[in-house]
């Protein structure tokens, strides 16, 4: 039988339709793409009673009110293999080592999450509470205030551990994105005089204006978490009212704009960076809006989608200290100094006279995460900006660098700052109660150890 061209076309169309019907299942129900899981939780950590505030040595009395609440916030993520990481952000000056260790030990005991998987970051607000065994020589507290500090510290530890559990319980499918934004209110305080800044036509000194942003979106397409950072001291405010300073205002702005999202701020390598000018609430609000605007811009533009693979690594490297003053030098300081310097000298004089051991090195925490292709470095202490700049030269400009992570035991100066001297290099260790400044090799030791840690986490480097 001869088939006409028209009949052939009709036959082909019918056959194609039949094949589509027979294979409908494979087209209408595609396999879901593998994604992350994520969970969030938050809790107010504003002290209920008037307490001594952390950050400024000139304060002479406890707090007297609240500008806005302080928060602890948690983001837990999990990749397709079940590997988890926990980011904890807090509106406090910093975690002292014993507090950090207790929190992380309890998280490991309760939830099976080890040191490499938990990153405790503090915003370093100077309008937050004093914690137990933190900057012990700075605050002239009486016994009642010391008891309040001890009680608050224990409550904070409990809250954070519970928050991690709450976030784990709330985990749901999610997609994660990352990108860097920019804002420019940080000023290198070592190279620019705050008193004459209004007359300057250009700024001096190294800076890193990056605004790292992580966006977590749930299966419904709603933003559930916004983790963002900046490298700048939260020292706009120096009054006696609790607040998160400019990071607190930035988080408030973002949670107003995205009511279903949790906004978590993490501090970067901002130890030598100040928000200038400062000292008014209006300026703190202005910098908060500037930072939140930078984050919003990133959220609304194309961000890199992160593949659901996670690797984490952690170590502690011993950083050497140069030694402590002699008994004669300490006695001279006791007689000639006042305030925290005198209390520091008295404490070490008693140790030397009593034959008690004095630290010659300090275990410094280093942490690396790799979320898809997004690299995150977490370093302890008050980290100066040169570390961020150098790490970006080695690992690329897209990396995120967090200071004030897991243990804030003092300033972490670069080799250049140690040579130049000044507060960050020569005197700040006394504020934190350390016996002396760091040895000149501190920067090379940290960078070398981070490169080894990055290799362990499968992270390539470009220049060294």
- Which tokens is 368 given? 């690396």
Can you tell me which residue has the tokens 């002239």?
140
Q: Find residue 86's DSSP bridge partners.
A: 76, 118
- Which residues touch 84 (CB under 8 Å, ≥6 apart)? 76, 77, 78, 113, 117, 168, 310
**What pLDDT score was predicted for residue 204?**
84
> Which residues are within 8 A (CB) of 13 and not within 5 positions of it... i.e. 6 or more apart?
none
Instruction: Give the distance from CA 362 to its chain's centroid.
Output: 20
Cβ partners under 8 Å of residue 5, min gap 6: none
Mean pLDDT confidence for 235-240: 96
pLDDT for position 196: 84
pLDDT band at 31 (very low <50, low <70, confident <90, very high): very low
- Given a cut of 80, whether residue 239 has pLDDT beyond it is yes
pLDDT exceeds 60 at position 415: yes
In the structure, what pLDDT confidence band is assigned to residue 325 with cuts at 50, 70 and 90? confident
Buried b (16+ CB within 10 A) or exposed e, 384-415: bbbbbebbbebbeeebbbbbbbbbbbbbbbbe
Provide the pLDDT for residue 10: 42
Rounded CA separation 452/442 (Å): 16
Question: Within a 13 Å sphere around the CA of 292, how many CA atoms are in the beta-carbon half?
Answer: 21
- Which of these, 131, 123, 144, 51, lies nearest to 96 by C-alpha position? 131
Domain spans of the chain, in order of start: 36-309, 324-353
pLDDT in the model for residue 200: 84
Report whether the peptide linkage leading into residue 277 is cis, meaning its omega lies within 30 degrees of zero.
yes
When pLDDT is cut at 50, 70 and 90, the band that residue 456 belongs to is confident
**pLDDT at res. 432:** 92
Residue recorded with tokens 């908060």: 288
109-119 pLDDT, tens per residue? 999 999 999 99
Angle, CA of 107, 458 and 414, to the nearest 5° = 80
- Model confidence at 23: pLDDT above 70: no
The pLDDT assigned to 335 comes to 93
| Pairing mode, strands 128-129 and 53-54 | antiparallel
Residues with Cβ within 8 Å of 147's Cβ and at least 6 positions away in sequence, in order, are none
DSSP 241-297: EE--HHHHHHHHHHHHHSTT-EEEEEE-S-TTEEESS-SSHHHHHHHHHHHHHHHHH
Strand partners, 41: 74
Whether pLDDT at 11 is above 50: no
pLDDT band at 27 (very low <50, low <70, confident <90, very high): very low
Does the pLDDT of residue 350 top 70, yes or no? Answer: yes
- Please, which pLDDT band fits residue 20 given cuts at 50, 70 and 90? very low
Q: Phi and psi at residue 36, in whole multiples of 5°? A: -75, 170
CA–CA gap between residue 350 and residue 444 (Å, rounded) = 34
d(CA 396, CA 59): 42
CB 272 within 8 A of CB 424: yes
> Which comes out higher in pLDDT, residue 239 or 196?
239
**Range in 148-162, 173-187, 256-270, 418-432 with the lowest mean pLDDT:** 418-432
Encode pLDDT of 70-83 as tens digits: 999 999 999 999 99
Exposure string of 124-140, with b = 16+ CB inside 10 Å and e = fewer, is bbbbbbbbbebbbbbbe
Stretch 441-450: mean pLDDT: 97
pLDDT, the chain, mean: 91
Rounded Cα–Cα distance for residues 444 and 442 (Å): 6
Question: Is the pLDDT score of 157 beyond 60?
Answer: yes
- Neighbour-count burial of 82, counting CB atoms closer than 10 A to its CB (0-12 exposed, 13-18 middle, 19+ buried): exposed
pLDDT at 39: 98
According to DSSP, the residues that pair with 273 across neighbouring strands are 188
pLDDT, position 5: 45
Taking 90 as the threshold, does the pLDDT of residue 181 lie above it? yes
Q: Which residues of 170-184 are buried (b: 16+ CB within 10 A; e: fewer)?
A: ebebbbbbbbbbebe
Query: Which pLDDT band, with edges at 50, 70 and 90, does 463 fall under?
Result: low
Q: Is 196 helix (H, G, I), strand (E, B) or coil?
A: helix
Q: How many CB atoms lie under 10 A from the CB of residue 373?
A: 14
Place of tokens 């659901």: 308
Closest CA to 135 of 438, 430, 403: 430
pLDDT at residue 29 is higher than 80: no
Residue whose C-alpha is closest to residue 176's, from 235, 112, 226? 226
Position 430 pLDDT exceeds 80: yes
Q: State yes or no: pLDDT of 34 exceeds 90.
A: no
If pLDDT is split at 50, 70 and 90, which confidence band does 197 have?
A: confident
- Percentage of the chain beyond pLDDT 70 is 92
């Amino acid at each position: 039988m001869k088939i006409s061209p028209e009949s052939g076309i009709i036959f082909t169309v019918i056959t194609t339709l039949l094949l589509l019907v027979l294979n409908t299942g494979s087209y209408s129900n595609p396999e879901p793409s593998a994604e992350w899981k994520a969970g969030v939780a938050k809790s107010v950590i504003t002290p209920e009673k008037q307490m001594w505030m952390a950050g400024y040595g000139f304060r002479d009395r406890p707090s007297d009110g609240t500008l806005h609440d302080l928060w602890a916030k948690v983001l837990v993520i999990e990749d397709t293999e079940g590997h988890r990481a926990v980011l904890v952000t807090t509106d406090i000056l910093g975690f002292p080592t014993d507090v950090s260790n207790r929190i992380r030990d309890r998280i490991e005991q309760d939830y099976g999450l080890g040191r490499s998987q938990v990153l405790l970051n503090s915003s370093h607000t100077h309008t937050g509470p004093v914690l137990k065994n933190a900057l012990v020589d700075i605050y002239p507290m009486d016994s009642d205030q010391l008891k309040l500090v001890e009680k608050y510290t224990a409550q904070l530890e409990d809250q954070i551990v519970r928050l991690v559990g709450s976030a784990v319980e709330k985990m749901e499918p999610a997609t994660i994105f990352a990108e860097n934004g920019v804002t420019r209110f940080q000023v290198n305080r070592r190279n620019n005089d705050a008193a004459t800044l209004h007359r300057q036509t250009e700024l001096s000194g190294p800076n890193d204006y990056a605004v790292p942003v992580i966006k977590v979106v749930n299966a419904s397409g709603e933003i559930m978490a916004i983790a963002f950072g900046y490298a700048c001291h939260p020292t706009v405010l120096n009054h006696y009212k609790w607040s998160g300073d400019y990071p607190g205002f930035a988080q408030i702005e973002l949670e107003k704009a995205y009511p279903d999202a949790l906004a978590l701020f993490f501090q970067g390598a901002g130890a030598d960076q100040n928000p200038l000018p400062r000292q008014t609430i209006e300026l703190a609000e202005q910098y908060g809006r500037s930072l939140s605007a930078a984050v919003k811009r990133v959220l609304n533009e194309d961000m890199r989608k992160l593949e659901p693979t996670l690797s984490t690594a952690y170590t502690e490297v011993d950083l050497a200290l140069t030694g402590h003053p002699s008994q004669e030098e300490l006695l001279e300081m006791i007689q000639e100094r006042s305030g925290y310097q005198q209390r520091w000298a008295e404490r070490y004089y008693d140790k030397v006279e009593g034959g008690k051991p004095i630290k010659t090195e300090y275990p410094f925490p280093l942490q690396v995460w790799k979320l898809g292709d997004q690299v995150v470095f977490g370093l302890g202490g008050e980290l100066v900006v040169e570390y961020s700049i150098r790490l970006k030269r080695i690992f690329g400009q897209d990396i995120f660098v967090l200071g004030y992570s897991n243990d804030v035991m003092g300033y972490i100066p670069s080799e250049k700052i140690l040579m130049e001297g000044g507060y960050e290099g020569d005197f700040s260790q006394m504020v934190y109660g350390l016996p002396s400044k760091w040895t000149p090799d501190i920067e090379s030791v940290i960078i070398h150890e981070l490169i080894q840690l990055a290799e362990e986490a499968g992270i390539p480097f470009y220049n060294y």
